[in-house]
Chains A and B, each alone.
Chain A
Amino acid sequence: MNGAAMGFKLSHLQSMLLFALLISIAFGFLSRRRPIDRVKYIVWSLFLFLLIGVGIGWAMYPFSR
C-alpha cells in the first residue's frame, strides 16, 4: 500500500505546527533580507502562530460540548 492510499495521519497539533512552521519560513524569507533578521522573524512569527492558535482553541473549548 502506498503513502497516498494511506494518507498522512497527523493530529491537530502536528498539523498546526507544520502549517505554522512552513508559513513562518515563507514569510521570513519574503519579508526580510539578512539571514539573522529572517531567523528572528521566523521564530517570532512561529511563536505568534502557536500562541494565537492555542489561545483560540482554549477560547472555543467551553462551546465544544
Chain B
Amino acid sequence: MADETTAPAAPPQDSRREAMAYVIGVAGWLVPGLGHALMKMWGRAAMCFLTVGVLVILGTEMRGNVFTSSGNDAFDSLGYLADLGAGTFYLVARSLETDGADVSHAGGDYGTRFLATAGVLNLLSALHAYEAARGRKA
C-alpha cells in the first residue's frame, strides 16, 4: 500500500516549467518587456518596454527624485524599492539625472511619481509574465 502521508513528487515537466517561469519573471524585471518577449507575446513586450521607458525618461526630464539606497527615512526607502522595480531602467534614470532632482515645483514632484510608477508597473508586468509562464494567465 502506498504511503499516503507523503506528497507525490512533482513531475519533472512541472518543475522545469516552474524554473522557466522564474527565469521569465526575473528577465521581465531586469529588462521591461523581456519576460513577455521570451514567450513571444510581442504586443505586451513592446507596450511594457515603451510605457516603462517613457515614464522613466519623462520622470528624469521633469527632474523627479531618483531615490538611492542611502535614504534618510522610510519614505526614501520605499521610493528606492519602487524605483528599483524598473530593473536596468533604474540605472538609465540614474545616468540621465545629471542635474539632480528639483521637487520645488510641481513638475519635479510629478517626475518622482512617474519614476516610482515606472518601477511598480514593471514589477506588475514581470509578475504577469511569470504567471503567464506558469499557465495561469493568457
A contact set with B: CB distance below 8 Å: 3-5, 7-10, 12, 15, 18-19, 22-23, 25-26, 29-30, 33
Contacts and interface: CB of A to CB of B under 8 A. Distances in A.
Contacts of A19: 110, 113-114, 117
A17 B133 CA distance: 33
Nearest to B129: A30
A8 B128 contact: no
A9 B99 contact: no
Interface of B: 43-44, 47-48, 51, 54-55, 58, 60-63, 96, 98-99, 102, 106-107, 110, 113-114, 117, 121, 124-125, 128, 138
Residue among A10, A23, A25 with the highest chain B CB neighbour number at 10 A: A10
A29 B47 CA distance: 7
A23 B121 contact: yes
A26 B51 contact: yes
Contacts of A4: 60-61, 96, 98-99
Given A5-B99, A19-B110, A33-B138, 6 more contacts: A4-B96, A8-B61, A8-B62, A10-B62, A10-B107, A19-B117
Contact of B110 (A10, A23, A29): A10
A7 B113 contact: no
Contacts of A9: 107
Residue among A4, A8, A12, A30 with the highest chain B CB neighbour number at 10 A: A30
B107 A25 contact: no
Given A30-B124, A30-B128, A22 B106 contact: no
Nearest to A15: B110
Contacts of B44: 29-30
A60 to B, nearest CB: 14
Nearest to B52: A26
A25 B50 CA distance: 10
A19 B106 CA distance: 14
A30 B125 contact: yes
